[in-house]
A and B are shown apart, each in its own frame.
Chain A
Amino acid sequence: ETGVTQSPTHLIKTRGQQVTLRCSSQSGHNTVSWYQQALGQGPQFIFQYYREEENGRGNFPPRFSGLQFPNYSSELNVNALELDDSALYLCASSEDRYSYEQYFGPGTRLTVT
């Protein structure tokens, strides 16, 4: 059974640029959630995708957007990067949108300079 994978591992971007982060969900899982973890904080929910549709969103501006593909992999896109976007971005998959238990990938460390 393949776990959740994310790419890239690390990324450095300049303020104002755009970034795309990728996630492959665990085998058999059709729901993907994205979280942002700032230093010293717990993960904060960005949004969730279920069967290619957004299924809930946290308190993040519209410049945070996402996609889910037919194979249930997902992308997180962030436009007009700000310094405060520097964080660990975590992807989590679950069996379906009603599953409480989510399984996380290793994360992508984004640094905005």
Chain B
Amino acid sequence: QQQVKQSPQSLIVQKGGISIINCAYENTAFDYFPWYQQFPGKGPALLIAIRPDVSEKKEGRFTISFNKSAKQFSLHIMDSQPGDSATYFCAASKNFGNEKLTFGTGTRLTIIP
């Protein structure tokens, strides 16, 4: 019930292409869904986050799509660049942030020229 399942485990995309990472959850009480980006040897950093009152949120080349009925959310990176190569984690929490974040297992994204 507390799991967040993330896929794929690794992803290779050509420069300029669209990178798509998916996450699915079981607990319908989750109400906050952030994505984190982690470069090798560094701590994760918040990339973008969404709450279930909207179906999509866009910030620059990064978009979260949220499907409440399917209990899925995904990260889309448009015009992917080599600098986007990193590990991406989705996460979820509930009770308006009063219960701890549950992280997905991560996706290692590699953008090739």
Do the two shown chains form a genuine complex with each other?
A: no
Query: Could you tell me which A residues sit within 8 Å of B by CB distance?
Result: none
Query: Could you tell me which B residues sit within 8 Å of A by CB distance?
Result: none
